[in-house]
Amino acid sequence: MNFGPASPDLLPGAKNAVETCLAIKPGERAALIADLPSRAVAASLAAAVENVHALCTSLLLEDFGPRPIKAAPAAVLAALETADIGVLCMNPQPGELGARMAIVRVVERRQIRYAHMVGVTPEIMQQGMRADYRMVDRLSEKLRARMLRAETLTVKTEAGTQFNSPPISIAASTGSRPAASSARAIGPTFPPAKFSPPRLPSTAPSSAMPPPAITSTASTETCSARP
């Protein structure tokens, strides 16, 4: 499957996703699953995968039957069984949760790197996906370290927003951040709260993680954790 030519406007975000967040290396195998509404984004991701000399198996959901899909196509699951990296790039429709869960179950069982890019748009690729995710990772680690000792959380902005959390408990089992894990571990939200932070390379990939949002950090925002 060829998703078509890649848009130059989307390539920087795709490069960030492929090289920084998923840490795809030459010779690795990526399974890129997309739908027609996400075709432009998928084309940019496919180009970025090929630019690092990795192998890309591209699958278009509409090739396997009408939407909404009730079950994950066998060809999609088979591609994930042999891939080092999986990417699901699609706009969801009602009734498709079971199919997406089947895809994630393969990812979790095989412990491969994975980008859960559900609801991705060209605007997200041109904005949030261009963030410096190594900086995001460093800031996230600092916040996580403070949160492990925290009892309350306060978030303020210069615009006047102030949020004070009730008593919190952060599980110490979160551990150090693993290698380029799932995207439910890779980038901005699709829409906010559907896309998770990157996991940068260490020694081994981790399983897909629940999808917390990545948002841009503005200098006017502060977040404090109080022990």
Which of 1-10, 45-54, 207-216: highest mean pLDDT? 45-54
One domain, residues 79 and 113? yes
One domain, residues 20 and 86? yes
What spatial distance separates the first Cα and last Cα of the chain, rounded to whole Å? 53
- Predicted confidence band of residue 16 (pLDDT cuts 50, 70, 90): very high
Query: For residue 30, what is the domain's CATH number?
Result: 3.40.1830.10
The tokens 């949760």 sit on which residue? 97
One domain, residues 100 and 51? yes
One domain, residues 39 and 146? no
- Predicted confidence band of residue 60 (pLDDT cuts 50, 70, 90): very high
User: What is the DSSP code string of 25-65?
Assistant: -TT-EEEEEE-GGGHHHHHHHHHHHHHTT-EEEEEEGGGGS
One domain, residues 123 and 138? no
Query: What is the mean pLDDT of the segment spanning 115-134?
Result: 93
One domain, residues 112 and 166? no
pLDDT for residue 203: 35
One domain, residues 145 and 44? no
One domain, residues 24 and 117? yes
Is residue 2 one of the residues assigned to a domain? no
Is residue 193 one of the residues assigned to a domain? no
One domain, residues 139 and 153? yes
Is residue 110 one of the residues assigned to a domain? yes
Is residue 220 one of the residues assigned to a domain? yes
Q: Is the pLDDT of residue 54 over 70?
A: yes
Q: Is the pLDDT of residue 152 over 60?
A: yes
pLDDT for residue 7: 96
pLDDT for residue 199: 42
Question: Does 41 or 182 have the greater pLDDT score?
Answer: 41
Kind plus residue range of the DSSP H or E element containing 118: strand 113-118
- What's the total number of domains in the chain? 2
Q: Is the pLDDT of residue 217 over 70?
A: no
One domain, residues 29 and 107? yes
- Predicted confidence band of residue 171 (pLDDT cuts 50, 70, 90): low
Is residue 6 one of the residues assigned to a domain? no
Question: What is d(CA 180, CA 31) in angstroms, rounded to the nearest whole number?
Answer: 16
One domain, residues 72 and 114? yes
Work out the mean pLDDT of the chain and round it to a whole number. 79
One domain, residues 52 and 101? yes
Which residue range is the domain that position 153 belongs to? Answer: 133-174+216-226
Is residue 179 one of the residues assigned to a domain? no
Q: Which of 59-63, 74-78, 194-198, 215-219 has the lowest mean pLDDT?
A: 215-219
- With pLDDT > 90 as the criterion, what percentage of the chain qualifies? 59
Is residue 201 one of the residues assigned to a domain? no
Question: Does 206 or 40 have the greater pLDDT score?
Answer: 40
